[in-house]
Amino acid sequence: MGKNIEITENIEKYINNFSFKLNPVQKEIIDFNNTLGNNKRMQIAKSQCYFLYFIIKISNIKNVLEIGTFTGLSALTIALALSDDGKLTALDKDEDSNKIAVNFFKKAKQESKIQTIVKPALESLEELKNQKFDMIFIDADKMNYKEYYERSIKLTNKNGLIIIDNVLWHGEVVDESNINKFTMKIREFNNHVSNDKRVEQIIFPIGDGMTVCRVL
């Protein structure tokens, strides 16, 4: 059986050099987030930008919901991949980071595709309960992942995608002796999704791990 290559920092640089180039505003967001200390971990990796972009492009996805926007890197990536008639609804509870994100959206001339809603995500999801989406991207507070997922199942079109970030949790999920509350919550969440007969799912080892679910 073939074996996955270990992605070292040098290999990651090589991959980035031979992949399509990010939008200048995406690069600006990354540079900005790198000034935020520990909070920079909240942004997705470049490899995940490429992944989300191609998933949307090849799947003819039009209507996307994002749960957890931070300073807008993933949202901008999604918007850039959407066609002119596409729409992204981006949820986040932090007004300050939302203002930063919106400024980046305007700078990239993508603001017409993006609606931001600033309030706790569970409140927003309740308000959106009668809508349907082609794809939902979950990258918010980990303690509510299961609830976000369950709400997303109801909001996603048949054959639509639910993509969840941080499912490998820095690799800590495989260490059964690790009883950190976040690690345990992610481990519990992964078990829940793997046993869910309403979806087909796979974990991709990019960034901090991404689960992609196809709703049956």
- Domain assignment present for residue 157? The answer is yes
- pLDDT for 151: 98
Confidence of residue 4 (pLDDT cuts 50, 70, 90): confident
Region 118-145: mean pLDDT is 97
- Domain assignment present for residue 174? The answer is yes
Region 119-136: mean pLDDT is 97
Confidence of residue 205 (pLDDT cuts 50, 70, 90): very high
pLDDT-above-70 percentage for the chain? 100
Residue 158: domain span: 9-215
Region 88-108: mean pLDDT is 97
- Domain assignment present for residue 53? The answer is yes
CATH of the domain at 35: 3.40.50.150
Q: Which of 150, 176, 177, 164 is nearest to 208 (CA)?
A: 164
Name the average pLDDT for the chain.
96
- Domain assignment present for residue 179? The answer is yes
- pLDDT for 1: 67
Q: Which of 120, 36, 123 is nearest to 73 (CA)?
A: 36
- Domain assignment present for residue 3? The answer is no
Express each pLDDT in 139-152 by its tens digit: 999 999 999 999 99
Q: Is the pTM of this model over 0.75?
A: yes
Contact partners, residue 50, CB within 8 Å, separation at least 6? 19, 20
Q: Which of 128, 109, 6, 28 is nearest to 73 (CA)?
A: 28
- Domain assignment present for residue 84? The answer is yes
- pLDDT for 39: 86
- Domain assignment present for residue 60? The answer is yes
Query: What's the structural domain count of the chain?
Result: 1
Express each pLDDT in 27-64 by its tens digit: 999 999 999 998 888 999 999 999 999 999 999 899 99
- pLDDT for 32: 96
Is the distance from CB of 82 to CB of 108 less than 8 angstroms? no
- Domain assignment present for residue 1? The answer is no
Q: Is the dihedral of CA 170, 81, 40, 116 positive or negative?
A: negative
